[in-house]
Structures are given as structure tokens and as C-alpha cells.
Amino acid sequence: AQSVTQPDIHITVSEGASLELRCNYSYGATPYLFWYVQSPGQGLQLLLKYFSGDTLVQGIKGFEAEFKRSQSSFNLRKPSVHWSDAAEYFCAVGAGDSNYQLIWGAGTKLIIKP
Amino acid sequence: GAGVSQSPSNKVTEKGKDVELRCDPISGHTALYWYRQSLGQGLEFLIYFQGNSAPDKSGLPSDRFSAERTGGSVSTLTIQRTQQEDSAVYLCASSLDRGRNSPLHFGNGTRLTVT
């Protein structure tokens, strides 16, 4: 069955430290992969997406993610986090041609220590 | 420009009452989606509209849930005879079209509490 796993429910990182949020997926074909961010009290915003080509994709707010087919992973990274990055991060896999077919992970809540 | 607007932002209702949640998408966006977000869960897809039609209603959890979209714009999600398990944040999103190349734009959600 198609699925998306975000193993970490929450992660605490010191401001200025590096960040990696994990995302693993199970999907039979070449996946379309997304990361969205949800700030407190807000809706979700697209950070970045991978469809094909270069496996390292750059997104907004200084985030990047790397698609690793052999590990079925699409981990999100940022070299140095800011307090404003505190939010919940969702990984999603496109299971078909349409947006409504996205499969969502349960999210990882990022807490920033001052 | 205006983003996706949802109202009310918070709704507290008594068990057994009906509620209506409203979504005003970005102008020109033909696709509209409803999701439910429960604490500690990912997004649960409920229904989507292409124009005024809802090709896939399979995500609606029960027949107490219904949705409509009029004029290719505003959508209403109705929950009849609310139950405590309906308590969640209901998110609406829209996109230019339904293809995965069109990013989803989300509203801030309606937090529903059923007492």
C-alpha cells in the first residue's frame, strides 16, 4: 500500500543549528514528492517539490530536500534554523496525476530552542 | 492578493447540531479541496471539486458529511448531527487546476469543537 512515514513526531533544535527532517515513502512508481509547512494557526504552504531531474531540490526559506530512490526517502534540510522556522512540516507523495491523490505524512513539529 | 479564506475560524457546537463551514478560494482556481486534520494526524482528504462537480466523494467519512460548490467559487462543507469525533481542524485548499503541477494554496482552517 502507498504510504508516507515521518518517523519523528517532534524535533527540538537550537537556533542556528542544522536541521534534517525525515520522510520515507512507499510507492510503486516514480514518486512526486512535496514538503509543506504549517505555521501555528495557519494553513499549509508549499516549501518545495520533486518531480524529476536533479535529486537535490531547493525550496523557499532556505530549505532543500534530497530524493534518494534507493532509500525511498525525501529528507528536508536546512543549514541553520531561525526561530521563525518553528512550525509543523508535512511530507506528501503524489500517488496519481491529481492533487487530490496526495498521500500525506502525519507531520513533524519543529521546536526551536533559543 | 487575497488567499483562501475560511469561515468561521473557530466553531463550538453541541453534539447533534448541524454545522456549515465555508471556503472562499483564490479567484480563478478551478480546483478546491477539503481536508480534515486531527491532532497528531496527517491530512485526511475529504472531497475535491473541479468547477462545481465533485468527481471523488470517497473521502467523506459518513453520510452526515456533504459539500457543495456554487459558481465555481465558494464551497460549503456541512456536517449534520455532529459527533464528538468530528472535532478537528477542517482545511480548505484551492489550486489553479487539479494537476499535481498546480501547488495547493491552503486557508487557515476552521477549528471545530463538538461538546
SS (H, E, C) chain A: CCEEECCCCEEEEECCCCEEECCEEECCCCCEEEEEEECCCCCEEEEEEECCCCCEEECHHHCEEEEEHHHCEEEEEECCCCHHHCEEEEEEEECCCEHHHEEECCCEEEEEEC
CB-nearest partner of B41 from A46, A96, A106: A106
Q: A62-67 — which CB contacts under 8 Å span 24+ positions?
A: A63/A35, A65/A33, A65/A35, A67/A33
Record: contact A42-B103, CB cut-off 8 A: no
**Bridge partners of residue B78, in order along the sequence:** B20, B66
Q: What is the tens place of the pLDDT at every residue in B25-40?
A: 999 999 999 999 988 7
Residue B40 near residue A9 (C-beta atoms within 8 A): yes
Residue A25: what pLDDT? Answer: 94
Angle at B19 (CA atoms; ends B36, B60), nearest 5 degrees: 40
Q: How many CB pairs under 8 A join A and B?
A: 64
Mean of pLDDT values over A8-14: 96
Which residue in B75, B104, B111 has the most chain A C-beta atoms within 10 A of its own C-beta, making it the best mutation to test that interface? B104
Which chain A positions have a beta carbon within 8 Å of B101's beta carbon? Answer: 51
Residue B1: what pLDDT? Answer: 54
Q: What is the tens place of the pLDDT at every residue in A86-98?
A: 999 999 998 778 8
CB-nearest partner of B106 from A4, A43, A96: A43
Which residue of chain A comes nearest to B44, CA vs CA? A104
Q: Which residues contact B52 (CB under 8 A, 6 or more apart)?
A: B68, B69, B70, B71, B72
pLDDT tier for residue B57 given thresholds of 50, 70 and 90: confident
* Block residue for cell numbers 532556505: A62
Return d(Cα A66, Cα A2) in angstroms, integer: 20
Best CA proximity match to B108, nearest among A45, A99, A105: A45
Residue A88 near residue A107 (C-beta atoms within 8 A): yes
Which residue in A32, A99, A103 has the most chain B C-beta atoms within 10 A of its own C-beta, making it the best mutation to test that interface? A99
Cell numbers for A98: 491529481
Record: contact B108-A43, CB cut-off 8 A: yes
User: ω into residue A114 within 30 of 0, thus cis?
Assistant: no
B79–chain A nearest CA distance, Å: 21
A59–chain B nearest CA distance, Å: 13
Which chain A positions have a beta carbon within 8 Å of B103's beta carbon? Answer: 46, 49
pLDDT tier for residue A100 given thresholds of 50, 70 and 90: confident
Q: What is the tens place of the pLDDT at every residue in A19-55?
A: 999 999 998 777 899 999 999 888 899 999 998 889 9
Residue B61 CA: distances (Å) to CA of A85, B67, B109: 33, 12, 18
Q: Is the pLDDT at B46 greater than 80, yes or no?
A: yes
Q: Is the pLDDT at B56 greater than 70, yes or no?
A: yes
| pLDDT, chain A, mean | 93
Give percent of chain B with pLDDT exceeding 90.
82
Which residue of chain A comes nearest to B32, CA vs CA? A100
